[in-house]
Structure 1
Amino acid sequence: MFENTSKCEDCLYYEYDDEYGFYVCDMDLDEDETAQFIGGRFQNCPYYRPGDEYTIVRKQI
């Protein structure tokens, strides 16, 4: 899980992690994907799922 500030902010998998104290991607990325994500080059994420506030809240319940 790593922090990223692109269009992840409206992704269903972008969740707040109490342990880290910031938002992270909750998908299991492989080594190459993780390197791209950390480097900020993960713009066309194959796991991206749009989620509005209501979708995200329903998932957490």
Structure 2
Amino acid sequence: MAPDRGSAPAHSREATDPIAEPLAAVAKALKGMRYGAIHLVVHDGKAVQLEVTERRRFNP
């Protein structure tokens, strides 16, 4: 028997709102970034990966 992890199965979370987690991750990345890029990877119409590249600029 598999251990109970205390949360809903992955398929039931996806059924409620499949874009909630990716959108929350993008919002979190944007809040902490001044310069950079966010790349969202999508496979079969689903967000599967978030890549964040942050740049730091220094004044001369």
TM-score norm. by structure 1 comes to 0.21
- Which structure is higher in RCO with an 8 Å CA cutoff and minimum separation 6? 1
The structure whose residues are more often strand, as a share, is 2
**Structure number with larger C-alpha Rg:** 2
